[in-house]
Amino acid sequence: MKRYSIFSLVGNALTGHVHWPRAWRSPEPKKHYDVVIIGGGGHGLATAYYLAKEHGIRNVAVLEKGWLGGGNTGRNTTIVRSNYHFEPNAHFYEFSLKLWESLSQTLDFNVMYSARGVLNLVHSPADIDAAMRRGNAMRLNGIDAAFLSRDEIAARIPNLDCSPDARFPILGGLLQPRGGTVRHDAVAWGYARAADSLGVDILQQCEVTGMRIESGTVTGVRTTRGDIGAGKVGIAVAGHSGKVAEMAGIRLPIESHVLQAMVSEPVKPVLDTVVTSGAVHFYVSQSDKGELVMGGDLDFYNSYAQRGNLPRIEDVVSACLALFPSFGRLRLMRTWGGIMDMTMDGSPIIGKLPVENLYMTGGWCYGGFKATPASGYVHAWTIAHDAPHPLNAAFTLERFAEGRTIDEKGAGPYPWAH
Amino acid sequence: MLLIPCPWCGPRSQIEFTYGGDATLRRPAPDAPEAAWTDYVYLRDNPCGPLDELWYHGAGCRSWFVVRRDTRTHEILPPDGSAEARP
C-alpha cells in the first residue's frame, strides 16, 4: 500500500488526480479462507484488519452483500462517546474511544475524529442526580466527565434555549469532552484499505445465503458467488444478525427495529458540540458539511425496511425546536432509516456462538458506530484465540439464560425499550 | 404512516397505538423447565417478512388485538388466523 502523505497529495494534484491507486483490490473469491467475516461494514472490516494486524491471520475474506459501508456504517449519526455507567460497557466503549483518538494515524486514512464534546442535557432535579451518579461512575472508571451548570451551557451553546420558561427547562448537563464525531464512510474505507494491504480479500456483491455446518462445526458459507470454505466464520451484520444466525439454526435475543435520522440543509457553523437530551429522546450535531444531523427514538415496531414513518420525524423535529427555537427557519433536507439489532438488555453480543468456530459481533441497539474499532478488535481476538478478550467477556450470548444481563437502562427484557 | 386496522374502530393512524411485539409467544407453565422460560422471556423469531404482532389502541377503544404485518415493507396483511390475542 502506498502511504498517503503531503507529497502524494501534491504530486497527484499537479497531475490532475488521475493517478491515485485503487484503495483496495476487487479479487475473485478463493475456495477456502482461514477466516470468513460476514458483513463489510465498519465492524466486519475492522475485524479483518485486526485479525491481520494483531494476530497475523491474513488469509481472510470479508463478504458484503451490497457495497462497503452501505448499511448502518453509512446510516448512523457519527457520534462517538463512552459515557456509560456499567463497568463492562464503560471499559469497552472507553477502549473504543481511545482507538478512535489515534485511528487516522493507525490506518493512514483521515477519519476526521473531532473531539467536540458530547453533552447530555438534564431537565429535572432527578435528572441531575442521575447525571451526577453517571459522571462519578465514569470518573471512577478513568473516563472524562464534567457537570456543567445552566449558565456554563448557555455560554457554550448560545442558540440553545436555556431560559427558565423553556418547554423543557435546562438545569445543567453532563459533558464528555473527548466525545464527538467521526466521519462514518471514512471508517469503512480506511479499514478496508488497511485490511486489503495486509492481504485480506474484500468481496462485494457477495451475499451469504446459507452456512455449511458439519457435526456442530461451521466449515463454510454458501454465497451468491459460490460456496466458500472457512476455518472460522465471524458474523458482523448488525440489523440482520438474527437472519444470519438463523442460517446456523441459532435464535437470538434480538428484534430488528428501524431507527431514523435526518439532516437539515447545510448552514454556516452554528453548533460545535453534540447535544443530546434523554428526557425528550433527541440528539443533534452539525456535520462538517454544515447540515444539522438529528435523531431520536426507534419507530417502535419490528422492521427490516430501512425506512421509517412520519410520526417519529415529527417527534424529533419538535424536540429539536423546543431546545433550539432558531433552527425553525431551516428546512429538513433528507431522512433515512437503518435497522438496529435491539437486544433484550440494551447491550451488545460479542463472542462465541453455540456452533463451533462461529462467532458474532452484533446486538448494538442504538450505538454500534462508536463501538466499531473496539468491536473489531475484540471480535478478532475472540476468533483468533477461540476465547473472549477481557473487554468482551461479559457480552456473551449465554448471559441471558444465566441472568447476567447488562441492563444499562434498568428496563427489563424489552427490546424496544432502550 | 401506518394505518392500523382496529377491529372495533376501523383503520386509524399509528399515533393512537402502542406496540406490543410478537403475538405468537406463549407463556410457559409455571413449572416448565428454565430453558422454556429463557426462550419465552428473551428469544425471538424476529422474522424478515410477515409477523403476527400485538397492538394496543390506547387512544381509542383500549383493546389489544393482533395485526399481521410484513416487516420488510410495513404492509398490513390479512390475518391468517394462527395467532390469537392474549387476554
- CATH code, domain with A373: 3.50.50.60
Q: Please give the C-alpha separations between residue A354 and each of A193, A210, A359, A363, in angstroms, as whole numbers.
A: 32, 17, 9, 16
Q: Is A59 helix (H, G, I), strand (E, B) or coil?
A: coil
Closest partner residue to A400 (CB to CB) among B38, B51, B72 is B38
- Asked if A309 lies within 8 A of B2 by C-beta distance, the reply is yes
Nearest residue of chain B to residue A240 (CA atoms):
B48
Cβ-defined contact of B1 to A309 (cutoff 8 Å): yes
- In chain B, what residues touch A256 (CB-CB under 8 Å)? 46, 48, 71
Structure confidence by residue, pLDDT tens digits, A373-390: 999 999 999 999 999 999
Q: Are residues A232 and A197 in the same domain?
A: yes
Query: Which cell numbers hold the place of B14?
Result: 399509528
| 3-state class (DSSP) for residue A274 | strand
Q: Is there a domain that residue A20 lies in?
A: no
Counting every residue written for chain A, the total comes to: 418
Q: Is residue B82 part of a domain?
A: no
Q: Are residues A242 and A282 in the same domain?
A: no
Residues of B in contact with A413 (CB under 8 A): 41-42
What range does the domain containing A206 cover?
38-82+85-109+184-255+345-402
Whether A72 and A199 map to the same domain: the answer is yes
pLDDT of residue B86: 55
Share of chain A above pLDDT 70, in %: 99
Residue B85 within a domain: no
Residues A159 and A268 in one domain: yes
Residue A235 lies in a domain: yes
A418 is a domain residue: no
Residue B86's contacts (CB-CB under 8 Å, 6 or more residues apart) are B23, B54, B64
**Splitting chain B (87 residues) into consecutive groups of 10 residues, what average pLDDT does each group show?**
94 95 94 96 95 96 96 91 58
Q: Which residues of B touch A400 (CB under 8 A)?
A: 38, 41-42
Whether B55 is covered by a domain: the verdict is: yes
Query: Residue A217 is placed in which grid cell?
Result: 462445526
Classify residue A5: in a domain, yes or no. no
Report CA-CA distances (Å) from A181 to A150, A316, A365, A370.
Answer: 24, 20, 18, 9
pLDDT for res B84: 62
A167 inside domain:
yes
What pLDDT shows up at residue B82? 67
Mean pLDDT of A331-335: 96
Among A302, A312, A399, A414, which would you mutate to test the B interface (most chain B Cβ atoms within 10 Å of its Cβ)? A302
Structure confidence at residue B87 (pLDDT): 43
The reply to whether A192 and A309 lie within a common domain is: no
Burial class (CB in 10 A: 0-12, 13-18, 19+), B82: exposed
How confident is residue A317, by pLDDT bands cut at 50, 70 and 90? Answer: very high
Q: Taking residues A276-299, what's their average pLDDT? A: 95
Specify the number of domains making up chain A.
2
In this structure, the answer to whether residues A42 and A174 fall within a common structural domain is no
Cell numbers found for residue A157: 451553546
Which candidate, A269, A306, A307, A308, places its Cα nearest to that of A286? Answer: A269
Instruction: Please state the domain count of chain B.
Output: 1
User: How far does chain B reach from its first CA to its final CA, in angstroms?
Assistant: 28
Which residues, 6 or more positions from B68, have their beta carbon under 8 angstroms from its beta carbon? B50, B51, B52, B53, B76, B77, B78, B79, B80, B83
In a shared domain, residues A275 and A299: yes
Residues A51 and A90 in one domain: yes
B26 found inside a domain: yes
Average pLDDT over residues A213-228: 97
Q: Is residue B54 part of a domain?
A: yes
Let me know: does A305 contact A338? Beta carbons within 8 Å: no
Q: Quick check: is A17 in a domain? A: no
**How high is the pLDDT of residue A417?**
57
Average pLDDT over chain A, rounded to an integer = 95
Handedness of CA A250, A254, A255, A261 (dihedral sign): negative
Q: Has residue A287 been placed in a domain?
A: yes
B16 occurs within a structural domain: yes
Which of B46, B51, B71 to mutate to probe the A interface, most A CBs <10 Å? B46
> Would you list which residues of chain B are within 8 Å, Cβ to Cβ, of chain A?
1-2, 13-15, 19, 21-22, 34-35, 38-39, 41-46, 48, 51, 53, 69, 71-74
Residues A192 and A65 in one domain: yes
| pLDDT tens by residue, A164-217 | 999 999 999 999 999 999 999 999 999 999 999 999 999 999 999 999 999 999
| pLDDT score of B85 | 52
| CATH assignment at residue B35 | 3.30.2270.10
**Which of B15, B44, B71 comes nearest A303 by C-beta?**
B71
Q: Evaluate whether ipTM surpasses 0.90.
A: yes
Is the CB of B42 less than 8 angstroms away from the CB of A253? Answer: yes
Assess whether A218 and A312 both reside in one domain. no
Query: Which domain range does residue B47 map to?
Result: 3-77
A14 touches A36 (CB < 8 A): no
Looking at the fold, whether A246 and A277 belong to one and the same domain comes out as no
Task: Kindly state whether residue A161 falls inside one of the protein's structural domains.
Answer: yes
Of A240, A310, A416, which has the smallest distance from its Cβ to B1's Cβ? A310
How much is the pLDDT for A418? 46
Flag if A300 and B19 touch (Cβ within 8 Å): yes
Query: For residues A384 and A360, what is the distance between their CA atoms, to the nearest angstrom?
Result: 13
CATH code: domain of residue A323: 3.30.9.10
Q: What cell does B87 get?
A: 387476554
Residue B62 lies in a domain: yes
Same domain, A74 and A100: yes
Does B86 map to a domain?
no
Model confidence at A6: pLDDT above 60: yes
